[in-house]
Structure 1
Amino acid sequence: MAPLLDVRDLRTQFHTDDGVVHAVDGVSFTVEPGQVLGIVGESGCGKSVTCLTVMRLNDPKLSSSSGEVLYKGENLLTAGSRRMREIRGAEIAMIFQDPMTSLNPVHTIGRQLSEAVLLHKDVSRKDARARALEMLEAVGIPRADRRIDDYPHQFSGGMRQRVMIAMALINNPDIVIADEPTTALDVTTQAQIIQLLKDLQREFGSAIIMITHDLGVVAETADDVIVMYSARIVERGSVASIFKQPRHPYTWGLMGSLPRLDVNVDRLVQIPGQPPSLLRPPAGCRFHPRCPYAMATCHEKVPASEPVPGDPGHEDACFLDGTVKQREASQLLGAIYEAGASP
């Protein structure tokens, strides 16, 4: 059975005055019906641009893309503008990172939600408003029948994010792309939004692509994980595989820098250096300038993504010997466990 979404060798470049920015460089992944796929990595690694390319939302005057984005067998990169307008919001929807700039400040919440229905469904305005009210109630907006005629500025950040989730799910799409849906929210609201997404995903059955830099969010929500660094995928696998047997040094760095409530530390462990410029990325493995395990080969050749023996679906792109990877991962997880177990 073919996957719901099949992204193959996706590449996106932005043409700037300084040169060509290789924002996505050979990314491939699949999404199955009902699956939650987490995409993690530092800011600027290509997570959001990958999904904006899937939605064809990059400015065509400033960017170019190649590869294939197969949605139910149809290549979205070659689909016409009219067809993409039919797909966006109805079959593939997106929850944007900043709801304040994504919602129109001069229209009420109810009007914006109703418009999302009217664009894709042959229904009356009354029915569209009723559906909007139903979704506001579903995402937990208090007194939704009164708040439906309020404007975005009258809602808190957490409530605006709930409105964005309602808008994304209002037409029961097959895929929902959530771009850092908990950014800039306090921890209590973050937990509420994560739980809301999990509940609605079970209710509506939509597949979710969760873009985040927070491994904690991934552990809470995702079935499978893609780790991106400098526009490329460096590791992929199930949540259990990534958290129990991480294989790439960059993944080790992300896990080692996680803050913990049960550990007293003066300073978090950090990955040294800065992510490379995508205008002129380094040759070979792009992580080698920051990697404590870098070898001569890492400076010269690009590591291919190889399967992890005995762990189906788990792959990583690193030249380190498998025995070394297993040893270092065990030491990392052991250190985390010991730190968590200490007073």
Structure 2
Amino acid sequence: MSEPLLDVRDLRTEFVTDDGIVRAVDGVSFTVEPGQVLGIVGESGSGKSVTCLTVMGLNDRKLSRSTGEVLFRGQDLLHASGHRLREVRGNEIAMIFQDPMTSLNPVHKIGRQLAEAVLLHQDVSRKQAYERAREMLKAVGIPRAERRIDDYPHQFSGGMRQRVMIAMALINNPDLIIADEPTTALDVTTQAQILALLKRLQEDFGSAVILITHDLGVVAETADDVMVMYAAHIVERGPVRAIFNEPRHPYTWGLMGSLPRLDVNVERLYQIPGQPPSLLNPPAGCRFHPRCAYAMPVCREKEPRLTLVPGDPDHAQACHLDEETKRREAAALLAQITAGAAT
């Protein structure tokens, strides 16, 4: 069996703040195979983006500390030199950030910014770099790319700027693309277009993708595997079909219950009670227990380990509930969603 493209082992990242130590990522392990799409879901503050920023080496090393291993093609990026990380970023691993308006330089033309990404990593002429930029603008569906390559970011709509960011991420044919909430602040029609574009280009270029989102609906349409994060921990992980058909963690049930459906008329969507905990001082035991309707005394005292679901070597969850209860409650949830009775 070949080694995974990306192998993250026991990753921990903490930030030093005036109020104390924030443990933003706490013991996260996962792998990404070549060509795979991994969806990472969870509420804001669950550690999704920080996990991937740590993989990219983009955290401020003066204010953060990271331990564990981030093996990309067998090389540990967590302890790589700054020079090596600059070789990897934008070339072998690329990232699509949430807000393209703040990610693009407002005083430089789109063409220059795309060409710069090529010139930094490839031994080509400036003319060749600009030609590659035009090709990528056409590939991501920018009309009249020959003319628009000379426009500034503010002359593009939000959806078009996001297409430019996808073009920049793919321009050097990276092996891994990290898409951090790529459809944030876009209308639903543009969201669908961006997701379809990303999936098509991922298939055309053969890149693996890590898709960060809080929307399980997005993951259901695009991902092969899903990793559910809560309060810096992984609470469930598995193939997309297993997560949606046989969810095993109460937090996953809550996320699924809050999904809007076009074919079901529901007066009010389910809402997970309470708020995510502060990572300055997370609760003892299971971090979800203050919000969990199934919490038991053991949940308040002992942190559950991520263990495999019996009979499924690819599906893992971290919950103290017995398997019979999990199966029963998951089946009841799915029946409620189907019947439109989730409230």
CA distance in 2, matches of 1:162, 1:36: 19
Matching residue of 1:24: 25
Matching residue of 1:285: 286
State the aligned residue count.
341
Matching residue of 2:12: 11
State the Cα distance separating 1:268 from its structure 2 match: 1.3
Matching residue of 1:201: 202
CA distance in 1, matches of 2:264, 2:328: 23
Is contact 1:235–1:315 with CA below 8 Å preserved after alignment? yes
What amino acid maps onto 1:137 in structure 2?
K
**CA deviations over 1:44-80 (Å, ceiling 9, x no partner):** 0000000000001011111110000000110001100
Is contact 2:305–2:319 with CA below 8 Å preserved after alignment? yes
Instruction: Answer yes or no: is 1:271 the counterpart of 2:296.
Output: no
Output aligned runs, 1:128-139, within 5 Å.
128-139=129-140
Matching residue of 1:52: 53
The SS at the match of 1:70 is: strand
CA distance in 2, matches of 1:254, 1:12: 25
CA distance in 1, matches of 2:233, 2:308: 16
CA distance in 2, matches of 1:338, 1:273: 26
Bigger mean CA deviation after superposition, 255-264 or 173-182: 255-264
CA distance in 2, matches of 1:311, 1:83: 38
State the Cα distance separating 1:302 from its structure 2 match: 0.7
What amino acid maps onto 1:141 in structure 2?
I
State the Cα distance separating 1:337 from its structure 2 match: 1.1
Matching residue of 1:147: 148
CA distance in 2, matches of 1:239, 1:78: 32
What amino acid maps onto 1:95 in structure 2?
I
CA distance in 2, matches of 1:195, 1:22: 35
Matching residue of 2:242: 241
Matching residue of 2:42: 41
Is contact 2:8–2:70 with CA below 8 Å preserved after alignment? yes
**CA deviations over 1:12-71 (Å, ceiling 9, x no partner):** 001000000000000000000000000000000000000000001011111110000000
The SS at the match of 2:211 is: strand
Is contact 1:241–1:311 with CA below 8 Å preserved after alignment? no
CA distance in 2, matches of 1:306, 1:24: 19
Matching residue of 2:98: 97
The SS at the match of 2:124 is: coil
What amino acid maps onto 1:213 in structure 2?
H
State the Cα distance separating 1:266 from its structure 2 match: 2.3
**Percentage of identical aligned residues:** 78
Matching residue of 2:67: 66
**CA deviations over 1:208-256 (Å, ceiling 9, x no partner):** 0000000111011100000000000000000000000000000000000
What amino acid maps onto 1:336 in structure 2?
I
CA distance in 2, matches of 1:192, 1:71: 30
Instruction: Answer yes or no: is 1:184 the counterpart of 2:195.
Output: no
The SS at the match of 1:142 is: coil
Matching residue of 1:304: 305
State the Cα distance separating 1:142 from its structure 2 match: 0.5
What amino acid maps onto 1:209 in structure 2?
I
**CA deviations over 1:64-102 (Å, ceiling 9, x no partner):** 100000001100011000000000000000000000000
CA distance in 1, matches of 2:118, 2:79: 26
Matching residue of 1:313: 314
What amino acid maps onto 1:264 in structure 2?
N
Bigger mean CA deviation after superposition, 183-192 or 254-263: 254-263
**CA deviations over 1:294-326 (Å, ceiling 9, x no partner):** 000000111011111122200000000000000
Matching residue of 1:250: 251
Is contact 2:266–2:340 with CA below 8 Å preserved after alignment? no
State the Cα distance separating 1:262 from its structure 2 match: 1.9
The SS at the match of 1:49 is: helix
CA distance in 2, matches of 1:223, 1:263: 26
CA distance in 1, matches of 2:313, 2:185: 36
State the Cα distance separating 1:265 from its structure 2 match: 2.2
Matching residue of 1:111: 112
Is contact 2:264–2:339 with CA below 8 Å preserved after alignment? no
The SS at the match of 1:119 is: helix
Q: Which consecutive aligned stretches of 4+ in structure 1 deviate over 3 angstroms post-superposition? A: none
CA distance in 2, matches of 1:47, 1:213: 9
The SS at the match of 2:163 is: helix
**CA deviations over 1:133-179 (Å, ceiling 9, x no partner):** 00000000000000000000000000000000000000000000000
Q: TM-score when scaled to structure 1?
A: 0.98
